[in-house]
Amino acid sequence: MLKTIAPSQVELGMFVHKLEGSWLKHPFWKSRFLLDDPETLADLRDADIRGVVIDVSKGRDVTPAQPPVRRVFTPPIPGMTTARRAAPARQSATPDFASTARTGMNREFGMAQTVAKRGEKLVSQMFLSSRLGKAVDAGAVEPVISDIFASVQRNPHAFNGLMRCKRDNQFIYQHALAVSALMISLARAMKLAPAMIRNAGMAGLLLDVGIGHLPLNLDEAGGDYRGFGDAILRNHTTLGYDYLHLGGDIPEEVALVALQHHERMDGSGYPMGLKGDQITLLSRMAAVCDTYDMLVTDSSRKRGLDPATAIVEMQEMTGRFDPAVLAAFIEAIGAHPVGSVVRLASDRLALVVDQDPADHRQPRVRTFFSVATGKMVQPEDIALAHCFGRDRIVGQADPEAYGLKDFDKLRLRIFTAACKAAS
């Protein structure tokens, strides 16, 4: 049985079914959880929400002295921050996309595929609406960001690994999803407040919305705008910034990312040639995440770089990126990101399929090719951090240099098989 009560009436032991109010105005990523923590209770009572829907069949009911009240608004205490930790995850026997309980790569990969599919649909609708001049509704993008956040919480590398396998004809939508996930991962690694993490995910999703307002035939290009040249593309930053102000409910720091994500620390970027701290933190983060995804994704002109190679190339772009942000990014995705192809001391090629949380330099890999014989080999899953020196990474590898053509399809097969084998 569901009841709607005022935030002030919430007590420990209640099962929260829904929070009535915009997700932008409270610090909770989930709306369904058992309230069993005093700090979370304090956060909930202070939150800027209209009411709380509780499920009395799963938790405590209101006391007789506190009858339920519908849609009562409790204003926040002046000066009180809502940027506290998220509510505890709900445990479930069946897959719950709202849950943030830690899962293995094997389980999360399938869930990440579902998240990506429905996220791509919503993002495509959003870009279509923007091209028609309709304002972006912050609430409309909430489901995408919440899904991606939950996936990253459950496993920090599954969704990003899946994005490395993306190779169909929908670049602009998949790029938005990939950058959003990378921004969330980076924000978590930097230990930003929950509200900042939300804004980081939203900024990643919306940073290229101005592309839809350029005189381009994106449908003919399969959504891949990179071949149109900088002279045309430069305007998308100011167009995106102006557009995001139409609706009035997009946070200013999110809109500024659309404007500044091509600015660089040394002043070499555009549209204003800003330097250093003149660029907002979220924009400096977006510069790293956006560039990385651009480098690793194939275009009509050239193949994308191996993820680890892209990291090295970005490190060599002296002065372009905030060094602290770039270091946190590498820590978040690993020195050898999921999807990288590495050469092992055993003279085999292997695909990085997961990270070791204790050592980002020693990931879990799956072997697939013998350099000595030039043939595919029986796959072996190796946790390099726990193989007692039996094998190790000696460098990056380009599969095509070993005669492995159309490796993108093979990458997805290897990655999928590794996830299944781990189950």
pLDDT exceeds 60 at position 318: yes
Helices 194-206 and 252-260: crossing angle in degrees, nearest 10, is 40
- Closest by CA to 204, choosing from 157, 234, 240, is 240
Neighbours of 258 (CB within 10 A): 27
Per the CB < 8 A criterion, the answer to whether 59 and 15 are in contact is yes
Residue with tokens 């990253």: 152
Distance, in Å, from the CA atom of 143 to the CA atom of 321, rounded to the nearest integer, reads 30
200-209, 234-243, 296-305, 371-380: least confident range: 296-305
Three-state secondary structure call for residue 412: helix
CA Rg value for the chain: 23
Output the CA torsion sign for 245, 249, 254, 256.
positive
Provide the token pair at 410. Answer: 């093979």
pLDDT exceeds 60 at position 89: no
Round the average pLDDT of the chain to a whole number and report it: 81
Comparing 38 with 268, the larger pLDDT belongs to 268
Q: How big is the CA angle at 367 (ends 335 and 391), to the nearest 5 degrees?
A: 65
Residue with tokens 């209101």: 62
Per the CB < 8 A criterion, the answer to whether 287 and 264 are in contact is yes
Distance, in Å, from the CA atom of 3 to the CA atom of 348, rounded to the nearest integer, reads 60
Per the CB < 8 A criterion, the answer to whether 395 and 346 are in contact is no
21-25, 170-174, 415-419: least confident range: 21-25
Output the CA torsion sign for 310, 312, 315, 318.
negative
DSSP one-letter string for 245-290 = TSSS-S-HHHHHHHHHTT--TBS--SSS--BGGGS-HHHHHHHHHH
Comparing 143 with 394, the larger pLDDT belongs to 394
- Listed ranges 38-42, 92-96, 131-135, 331-335; the one with the highest mean pLDDT: 331-335
Distance, in Å, from the CA atom of 159 to the CA atom of 161, rounded to the nearest integer, reads 5
pLDDT exceeds 90 at position 267: yes
Three-state secondary structure call for residue 238: helix
> What φ, ψ does residue 407 adopt, rounded to 5°?
-70, -20
Per the CB < 8 A criterion, the answer to whether 381 and 348 are in contact is no
Neighbours of 6 (CB within 10 A): 20
What single-letter DSSP state applies at residue 12?
T
pLDDT exceeds 80 at position 321: yes
pLDDT exceeds 70 at position 57: yes
Q: Report pLDDT for 67.
A: 46
Q: Report pLDDT for 97.
A: 42
pLDDT exceeds 60 at position 76: no
Distance, in Å, from the CA atom of 99 to the CA atom of 356, rounded to the nearest integer, reads 22
Distance, in Å, from the CA atom of 267 to the CA atom of 255, rounded to the nearest integer, reads 20
Question: E strand or H helix at 342, and its extent?
Answer: strand 341-344
Q: Report pLDDT for 101.
A: 57
What single-letter DSSP state applies at residue 9?
G
Q: State which amino acid sits at residue 112.
A: A
* Residues in a beta bridge with 341: 351
Is the previous residue joined to 271 through a cis bond, with omega within 30 degrees of 0? yes
pLDDT per residue as tens digits for the range 344-379 = 999 999 999 998 888 878 999 999 999 999 999 999
Three-state secondary structure call for residue 124: helix
Neighbours of 143 (CB within 10 A): 15
- The contacts of residue 397 (CB under 8 Å, 6+ apart) are 306, 341, 342, 343, 349
To the question of pTM greater than 0.75 for the whole model, the response is no
| Residue 272 exposure: Cα atoms within 13 Å on the Cβ side | 12
Q: Report pLDDT for 219.
A: 58
pLDDT exceeds 90 at position 230: no
Distance, in Å, from the CA atom of 32 to the CA atom of 40, rounded to the nearest integer, reads 13
pLDDT exceeds 60 at position 71: no
Per the CB < 8 A criterion, the answer to whether 194 and 86 are in contact is yes
Q: How far is CA 231 from the centre of its chain?
A: 29
